[in-house]
Structure formats: C-alpha cells, structure tokens
C-alpha cells in the first residue's frame, strides 16, 4: 500500500473532525498522512482523489473510508468528502483534556469544511463519547452537523440535512453518572460501608438517674 505525506506534496489537510466535546488541540499542528491504493491528482483544478482502503491519520485523528476527495476553495481552504462504497466511513479522535477520553463516529458519507471547521455526517450518522473503551453518551440521526469551533451540533431526520415532518426520529442515549452498587450492598447502607456489614443499632443504654434532693 502506498503512503502519502501531504506536508511534502500539498498543503496540510485540516481534517479536524470533532466530537461532542472539543477535539485534541495538538492535532491541529500535526501533518496529515494518507494511506491509499490509488491516487488521481489534478494539480490544475486542485482535486485529489484517493481510493482503495483509504486511511487518514493526523495526530490522534484517524479516519477510514473507501474513497476521499480533497478540493480547494478559491481562498485556499480545503474541502474533504469521504465515502464508504457501501461501508461506513469511520473516525476516531482523542478529546481534549485529562484522562483517556475519545470520540468516534460513523456515517455513509462525511464532509469536512476547513474554513468553517464544520463536520457534516450524512445517512445513518452516529457519534459517541468514550472513556477508555467504555461508551458514554451517543447520538444517532440521518444527518448530524457539528461545529467544532462553537462546540455545537444539530441532528436532522433526513440524509440531506433538511428537517422533514414524519421522515424519522433521532436517538440520544445518555449513560448514568452513578455506578451500580456491588451485589449484596443494603440499599440504606452508609456510603463507604463494606457489603454485608451489619447495620449499627442505636445504643439502648440509659444514663444513670440523678440523685434525689438531700441525698
């Protein structure tokens, strides 16, 4: 499989796909590497078409597709369109901040606008947050648009991005923050008490009676 370092052939492709939280900021300064089976490059029109098990890697960002087409706007910004050829286009990227936090998603087609820092996912789109390998929140819809600059996303019920009554509904799954207590822990056990520990009953010892006057 061929390998292409875009920093040596054409301007760096800013595929900063972002999740529900802000993406790893350091990725913005990393070169983009593309592995592919075939490349058709039109330098006059500035259109670059990559096909054949395409993988784009930039820092912690990793995107996989059957085909990726990169073009340029008149003012020099990149537009990237990734398709799966019947399979899902997938991406994964580390979220900014502490801990092993990631975001990943998939759709039939993904478009990225560098200038607007806008990620658009078309047809059976899905985004989820993970802590390590454990899924956190998840959003599904026919179309998901994510503005990584404002950290704002919207979901629509048609794959064109239009909102059409009766066309379908989105789904959002929010995982609970509290964890289930171990089996055998009493429901009214104090926090930190070991499972199976006997409950402490109030003391039944009465204080001694006060002496009578004059004794």
- Please say whether the beta carbons of 145 and 161 come within 8 A: yes
Task: Decide if 196 is inside a domain.
Answer: no
Task: Decide if 30 is inside a domain.
Answer: yes
pLDDT tens figures, 42-63: 999 999 999 999 998 777 778 8
Give the integer Cα–Cα distance in Å for 30 and 162. 35
Task: Decide if 125 is inside a domain.
Answer: yes
Question: Average pLDDT in the 34-47 region?
Answer: 93
Question: What pTM does this model have?
Answer: 0.65
Task: Decide if 178 is inside a domain.
Answer: no
Predicted local distance difference test score (pLDDT) of residue 145: 84
What is the span of the domain harbouring residue 20? 2-173
Which of 136 and 87 is assigned the larger pLDDT?
87
Task: Decide if 144 is inside a domain.
Answer: yes
Question: Average pLDDT in the 105-119 region?
Answer: 84
DSSP-H helix ranges across the chain: 6-9
Both tokens of residue 167? 């066309």
Residue 9 has pLDDT above 50, yes or no: no
Across 53-62, 104-113, 130-139, 162-171, least confident range: 162-171
Q: What is the dihedral of CA 57, 61, 64, 70, to 10 degrees?
A: -70
Predicted local distance difference test score (pLDDT) of residue 10: 35
Which of 24 and 36 is assigned the larger pLDDT?
36
Give the integer Cα–Cα distance in Å for 12 and 29. 9
pLDDT tens figures, 169-213: 666 666 666 667 777 766 565 555 555 555 444 555 555 555 555
Task: Decide if 90 is inside a domain.
Answer: yes
Which percentage of the chain shows pLDDT scores above 70?
A: 60
Both tokens of residue 94? 């580390």
Predicted local distance difference test score (pLDDT) of residue 4: 44
Q: Total structural domains in the chain?
A: 1
Predicted local distance difference test score (pLDDT) of residue 158: 76
Task: Decide if 192 is inside a domain.
Answer: no
- Please say whether the beta carbons of 90 and 64 come within 8 A: yes
Give the integer Cα–Cα distance in Å for 182 and 92. 33
Q: Which residues, other chains included, contact 46 with Cβ-Cβ below 8 Å and sequence gap of 6+?
A: 71, 72
Q: Which residues, other chains included, contact 188 with Cβ-Cβ below 8 Å and sequence gap of 6+?
A: 199
Q: What is the CATH number of the domain that holds 141?
A: 2.60.450.10
Task: Report the chain's mean pLDDT, rounded to a whole number.
Answer: 73
Give the integer Cα–Cα distance in Å for 109 and 120. 8
Which percentage of the chain shows pLDDT scores above 90?
A: 21
Q: Taking the CA atoms of 159, 160, 164 and 170 in sequence, report the sign of the dihedral they define.
A: positive
Beta-strand ranges (E) seen in 24-60 are 33-36, 38-42, 47-58
Task: Decide if 206 is inside a domain.
Answer: no
């Amino acid at each position: 499989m061929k390998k292409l370092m875009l920093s040596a052939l054409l301007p760096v492709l800013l595929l900063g796909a972002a999740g529900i939280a802000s993406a790893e900021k350091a990725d913005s300064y990393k070169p983009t590497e593309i592995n592919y089976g075939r490349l058709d490059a039109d330098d006059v029109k500035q259109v670059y078409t990559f096909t054949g098990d395409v993988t784009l890697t930039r820092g912690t960002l990793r995107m996989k597709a059957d085909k990726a087409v990169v073009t340029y706007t008149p003012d020099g910004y990149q537009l990237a369109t990734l398709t799966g050829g019947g399979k899902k286009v997938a991406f994964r990227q580390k979220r900014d901040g502490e801990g092993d936090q990631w975001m990943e998603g998939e759709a039939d087609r993904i478009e990225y606008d560098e200038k607007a820092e806008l990620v658009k996912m078309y047809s059976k789109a899905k985004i989820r947050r993970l802590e390590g390998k454990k899924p956190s929140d998840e959003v599904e819809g026919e179309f998901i648009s994510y503005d990584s600059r404002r950290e704002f996303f919207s979901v629509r019920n048609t794959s064109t991005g239009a909102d059409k009554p009766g066309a379908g509904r989105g789904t959002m799954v929010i995982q609970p923050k509290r964890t289930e207590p171990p089996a055998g822990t009493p429901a009214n056990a104090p926090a930190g008490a070991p499972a199976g520990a006997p409950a402490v009953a109030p003391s039944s010892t009465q204080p001694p009676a006060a002496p009578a006057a004059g004794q």
